[in-house]
Amino acid sequence: MTDKMQVNLRQVAMEILYEVQKNNGLLHVVLSDALKKYQYLDKNERSFISRLVQGTEERKIELDYIIDSFSKTPVKKQKDVIRIILEMSVYQLKYMDSVPASAVCNEAVKLAVKKNFGTLRGFVNGVLRNIARNIDNIEYPDKSTNTDKYLSVKYSVPEELAGFMIMRPVSGSGTLVILEQLADEFGPDSFLCRSACVMMGSSETLFYAVAVYFGATSVKKMRHTVPAGIVGYIIGIWLSLVLCKVM
């Protein structure tokens, strides 16, 4: 049997995520090193590993919310290996339609057993099959009563940044206050503060700028200005989060 035949793609992905989440490894560095190690794999297999790792890490907040909705044991109290296996599996169920739900559940159970968590195979299987049956009917936080929580889960961003995202297009001074609070509470080198800084540099106080500059030049026809600005703002925010997560 060749080395290639022995490679478990999901196990490779899990070990990368473990290194990133548990040992604070940089995603792009750990992933690159792993792909070099398994460079003999087919292009599709390497792509599967990359998508699964990057997608799981990018959507982690949403994935953890979904798991907590169906698990009696909260994500924060789960073993690191089990939590990562569940996160990877839920990502496949929700965002990788080409992978059958039965295969996702079976491979997750096998991986848990292989990592010496055989006693939790029933837990893994039960949670995942329950999620698989309800994956299209996930109840997210109420947008009208808990906007910050809704944005955090729906777009998989820390809840502390949700208020920043809402404030940024409206008020530069308001976002500066939030940025200072993040720096004081979490530290200037924290992911939250770095993300907020990059967001601030890659976006503009859209509504204020439109009102001031268009008003100063007496421009009245601005039909496409705000929609285009909102699209640019969303792209800037999304890229900021992705870059801060992988770099």
What secondary structure does DSSP assign to the chain, as a single string? --HHHH--HHHHHHHHHHHHHHH---HHHHHHHHHHHTTTS-HHHHHHHHHHHHHHHHTHHHHHHHHHHH-SS-GGGS-HHHHHHHHHHHHHHHH-TTS-HHHHHHHHHHHHHHTT-GGGHHHHHHHHHHHHHHGGG--PPPTTT-HHHHHHHHTT--HHHHHHHHHTTT-HHHHHHHHHHHHHHH-TTSHHHHHHHHHHHT---HHHHIIIIIHHTT----TTHHHHHHHHHHHHHHHHHHHHHH-
- pLDDT recorded at residue 15: 96
pTM over 0.85: no
- pLDDT recorded at residue 247: 65
Which parts of the chain have pLDDT scores under 70?
Answer: 1-5, 208, 213, 220, 246-247
- pLDDT recorded at residue 5: 55
- pLDDT recorded at residue 55: 94
The torsion angles phi and psi of 9, rounded to 5 degrees, stand at: -60, -40
- pLDDT recorded at residue 105: 97
